[in-house]
Chain A
Amino acid sequence: DIQMTQSPSSLSATVGDRVTITCRASQSISTYLTWYQQKPGKAPKLLIYAASTLKSGVPSRFSGSGSGTHFTLTITSLQPDDFATYFCQQSYNTLFTFGPGTKVDIK
């Protein structure tokens, strides 16, 4: 299995902050990396795929970068709607695996 890790596991931030979340894969996954946002009681929502491609309709304050084993999700100016948990997911092989999540809450 390809193991996905994320850091930090949680962070506290205020509206307007720049937030960066890191996702690492246990082996190279090229750019087969997707980011999701999940709010309590809801299904995950697709934000970014292929490491850096923003899904249509997702605000441009979200961006993704990286390749190989190291990836980042950046929110340039945190908005109230962005307080949520963020997961990464690899699709390099068909045993799809997810990171444990990073919870972003209000400072």
Chain B
Amino acid sequence: QVQLQESGPGLVKPSETLSLICNVSGGSMSGYQWSWLRQAPAKGLEWIGYVYSSGSTNYNPSLKSRVTISIDSSKNQFSLKLSFVTAADTAIYFCAAYEMQHGYFDPWGQGTLVTVSS
């Protein structure tokens, strides 16, 4: 049973870079698209992007200019970097495994709140 756990700073200053890591345990990293999503306070869910086990990526066009998602299979982890953050990037950030055949995200990490504030 694959489990995911996010880690990283809970507070980031405006204009700086948000960096999070997702640790994957209990299974192989092959066969999934490893994804990041976010949920702003009292808002809906937004897909940020994913990385394949090969390292290729796909990003939400609305964030593409500021996002980098990478994978380190040797460490069973993948990461998110979001640059030039503003208060609008304050959200709970989730990592999740995207199952390509049927089109769903499962499982998810528990989520980590990142606040952008000086």
Mostly, the B contact residues are strand
Contacts of A89 in B (CB 8 A): 45, 104-105
* Chain A positions 43-59 with a Cβ under 8 Å from a chain B Cβ: 43-46, 49-50, 53, 55
Contacts of B111 in A (CB 8 A): 42-43
Contacts of B27 in A (CB 8 A): none
B78 within 8 A of A: no
Q: What is the count of residue pairs linking A and B with beta-carbon distances less than 8 angstroms? A: 52
Q: Give B75-118 as 1s and 0s: 1 = Cβ < 8 Å from A's Cβ atoms.
A: 00000000000000000001010100011111111110000000
* Chain B positions 34-80 with a Cβ under 8 Å from a chain A Cβ: 44-47, 58, 60-61
Query: How extensive is the interface on chain B, given as a class?
Result: 20 to 34
Whether A49 lies near B102 (C-beta < 8 A) is yes
Contacts of A42 in B (CB 8 A): 110-111
Whether A43 lies near B94 (C-beta < 8 A) is yes
Q: Provided the pairs A44-B108, A50-B103 are in contact, do residues A87 and B44 lie with their beta carbons within 8 angstroms?
A: yes
Whether B104 lies near A34 (C-beta < 8 A) is yes
Whether A34 lies near B103 (C-beta < 8 A) is yes
Contacts of B60 in A (CB 8 A): 95
Whether B103 lies near A95 (C-beta < 8 A) is no
Min CB–CB distance A104 → chain B (angstroms): 16
The 9 closest A-B pairs by CB, nearest first: A91-B103, A43-B108, A46-B106, A98-B45, A96-B47, A49-B104, A34-B104, A100-B44, A49-B102
Interface residue ranges, B against A (CB under 8 Å): 44-47, 58, 60-61, 94, 96, 98, 102-111
